[in-house]
Amino acid sequence: MPKFSRRNFIQSAMVLSASALVTPTLQAQTNETLSFIHVTDSHMDFADVESVQAIELMVSYINKNYKNLDFVLFGGDNYNNNVEDNKDAVLFKYIVDKLHCPYYIVRGNKESSPTTKLKSILSKDFENIFLQDKDLLTNNKDWLIQKKGYMVLGLDSCIEHQNNGRYTPDTLEFAESVLKKKQPTIILNHHPYTNYWKGTEAKDIKKYVLTNTKETQQRLFKYPNLLLTLSGHKHIDSVSKINNTTVIVTRGFVRPLDLDMYPMRYVEIQGDAIQEKIIYTT
């Protein structure tokens, strides 16, 4: 069974008790509009001044142009994790803490695969640095946040020291426990669920597609209240469907269209209606 963190024990009880009052009709659960920005694969590098400036630009752009956001979601490979003593993680947090709204974050393969023998960030460090928000209900490296009647799940799809990804049995169980509450749900993770770029090399597909995607789709995508998933990793943009779920892979922030035009995705959801568009920092 999923093991909730002790600091969120009371909150988890509130989640479970409140769920009994929720009706199965999505429109009946929330009439508010949820708005947020998805940023993934920013690959901030402590030694690359331009990459740091890009994160600063992203924060200032959001603060200036999207003042009514509910939150920002960071989808992994947020920094390159290649320096000692967690310096890049600390710097990334220092910058994004300046956002005017809350932000929530999952790991990518960069965070789970340090590229140096020096002390770089691993899973427990990531939790201690980024998963201490008092409103988060945590389950190891997975988390849940509730906003305006929507359940937002951050699922860790990383395998330590590997580029490819997989959901653990505990992660799948945690996700199903939330989806069974019948509230409209969004999933944020790093590895995409399909070979949406239509690659032909098995090695490439193994690296980028969630390795247990078949089981995941059978277990999670059967729930009609799973409205949206957000992934990254491949850096190539895609919007598609699995069953009735909108499946988005957002273009990597690290791939600017032109100078200072770094891509992100703006999303609005009301009931089960989703509107989304790619936006750029300038």
pLDDT at position 85 is 76
**Hey, how many other C-beta atoms are within 10 angstroms of the C-beta on 102?**
16
pLDDT at position 21 is 34
pLDDT at position 124 is 64
pLDDT surpassing 50 at residue 44: yes
The residue-averaged pLDDT of 158-174 equals: 95
Q: In whole angstroms, what is the distance from residue 135 CA to residue 126 CA?
A: 17
pLDDT in tens, 89-116: 999 999 999 999 999 999 999 998 866 5
pLDDT surpassing 50 at residue 265: yes
Q: Domain map of the chain by residue range?
A: 34-280
Q: Letter for the amino acid at 53?
A: Q
What is the chain's mean pLDDT, rounded? 88
pLDDT at position 170 is 98
Contact 229, 193 (CB under 8 A): yes
- Determine which of 18-27, 100-109, 143-152 has the lowest per-residue pLDDT on average: 18-27
Task: Say if strands 103-105 and 273-280 run parallel, antiparallel, or are unpaired.
Answer: unpaired
Looking at per-residue pLDDT, the higher value among 137 and 21 belongs to 137
Tokens at residue 187, please? 């999933």
pLDDT at position 117 is 59
Q: In whole angstroms, what is the distance from residue 267 CA to residue 261 CA?
A: 18
> Which of 3.40.50.20, 3.40.50.720, 3.60.21.10, 3.40.50.300 would CATH assign to domain 34-280?
3.60.21.10
Tokens at residue 268, please? 């609005």
Among residues 150, 178, 176, the alpha carbon closest in space to that of 35 is found at 150
The residue-averaged pLDDT of 49-69 equals: 97
- Determine which of 80-94, 100-114, 258-272 has the lowest per-residue pLDDT on average: 80-94
pLDDT surpassing 60 at residue 118: no
pLDDT in tens, 171-225: 999 999 999 999 999 999 999 999 999 999 999 999 999 999 999 999 999 999 9
